[in-house]
Each structure stands twice: as C-alpha cells, then as structure tokens.
C-alpha cells in the first residue's frame, strides 16, 4: 500500500513496530476524498501525488494506521487532516459500515492488494470534502480527477499496491465510471 506519512508512531519504537509488522495484521483506514454536487453525485475524486524513495511518482488515496485507543472516526479525521490540510472540511460518514475492506498482503496475488512491508487490513470509506485542500508533508499535490479520468488505465498504473482497484471499487459503489 502506498503509505501516507504516519505522524504518530504510536507507542512503539521503530524496531518494535517492525517486529509486530511481521507477526500480526495491522489495522488501517483508507479514505477516498471526493467532491459531490448538491444531489450527492460524485463529480471528482482526489488523488495524492508523491514521490517514492526511488524518485518515481505515484498516486494514492488517504491511508493510515489506527492507533491504540483511537476511534476509527478519529483516525479518519487525523489522516485526512494530515494529507489534505486543516481546512479540507471532510464529512466523515455517519455509519462505520465501510464500502469495502481491503486486505493488503506482503505476498502478491492473494487479494488485489499488496504491501511488501506488512499485512494490513484497511476499512475503506468515501469521504466528501468541501473545503480547500492543501496537501502537507511529503505529498506534492492533490489532483482532482473526474470519475472517467480516475478510471483510466494510465491513472491506475500510477497507483501501487492495488489502490487502483480500490478506486474502482469506490467508483462502482457510487455508481460512476462503470
């Protein structure tokens, strides 16, 4: 999974986290930021653009760990603020029922999702945002694409770890770009 920066390491040292990563699934949340019209129709999908360690660019949705004693709602808020800035005004869903659960395995091919570092299980939500988005930290930019653009195979190739599949699931869930 293309990881968005983790501002809080939790209560683990880097070594401890490394050790845990190889031995149990880690709980993640993922948020697909969208713009909607007055009738709730998704008009645009927001994808973060960043450079990875090798200097290549890739696109991703908002992603991050749920910390000890943190509610899923608060983890969503925290990661959205981390990636989209403090005035994005995300609308966290009233229900915690995710549109899908994405299982990222260190071994490719078990599911459409893959993360070489760990076994992560992400509850995925579609989150309308209405404010200004100012990507922070390591993200270079947030780009708003129409559903058609987001479904394009070229865009998909720029998403690693199966996040392109996640975006397609999100689009299908909102009845778009089918």
Task: Please enumerate in sequence order all residues whose Cβ is within 8 A of that of 83, keeping only pairs 6 or more positions apart, or say none.
Answer: 4, 5, 48, 62, 135, 136, 137, 139, 142
Nearer to a copy of itself, 40 or 55 (CB): 40
**Least CB distance from residue 55 to a copy of itself, whole Å?**
28
- The pair of structure tokens assigned to 61 is 């949705």
Q: Does 126 bind a copy of itself (CB under 8 A)?
A: yes
Measure the CA–CA gap between 36 and 38, rounded to whole angstroms. 7
Q: Does 85 bind a copy of itself (CB under 8 A)?
A: no
Q: Give me the phi and psi of 114, to 5 degrees please.
A: -150, 135
Nearer to a copy of itself, 36 or 143 (CB): 36
Handedness of CA 98, 121, 63, 73 (dihedral sign): positive
Which region, left, alpha or beta, applies to residue 161 given φ > 0 means left and ψ of -120 to 50 means alpha? left
**Least CB distance from residue 90 to a copy of itself, whole Å?**
9
Q: Write each residue from 138 to 177 as x if it is in contact with a copy of itself (CB under 8 A), else as -, in one continuous string.
A: ------------------------x-xxx-xx-xxxxx--
Q: Count of residues binding a copy of itself (CB under 8 A)?
A: 63
Task: Please enumerate in sequence order all residues whose Cβ is within 8 A of that of 40, keeping only pairs 6 or more positions apart, or say none.
Answer: none
Give the interface with a copy of itself as residue ranges (CB under 8 A): 10-12, 20, 22-27, 34, 36, 38-42, 66-74, 76-77, 91-101, 103, 105-107, 110-112, 119, 121, 123, 126, 128, 162, 164-166, 168-169, 171-175, 178
């Amino acid at each position: 999974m293309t990881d968005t920066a983790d501002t809080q390491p939790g209560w683990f040292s880097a070594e401890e986290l490394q050790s845990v990563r190889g031995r149990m699934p880690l709980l993640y949340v993922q948020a697909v930021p969208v713009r909607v019209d007055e009738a709730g129709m998704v008009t645009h999908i927001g994808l973060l653009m960043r450079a990875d360690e090798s200097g290549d660019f890739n696109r991703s949705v908002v992603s991050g760990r749920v910390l000890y004693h943190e509610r899923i709602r608060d983890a969503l808020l925290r990661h959205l603020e981390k990636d989209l800035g403090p005035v994005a005004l995300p609308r966290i869903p009233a229900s915690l029922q995710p549109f899908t659960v994405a299982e990222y395995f260190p071994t490719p091919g078990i599911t459409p999702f893959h993360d070489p570092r760990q076994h992560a299980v992400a509850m995925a939500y579609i989150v309308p945002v209405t404010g200004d988005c100012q990507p922070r930290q390591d993200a270079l930019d947030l780009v708003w694409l129409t559903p058609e653009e987001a479904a394009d195979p070229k865009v998909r190739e720029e998403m690693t770890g199966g996040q392109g599949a996640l975006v397609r699931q999100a689009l299908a869930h909102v009845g778009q770009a089918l």
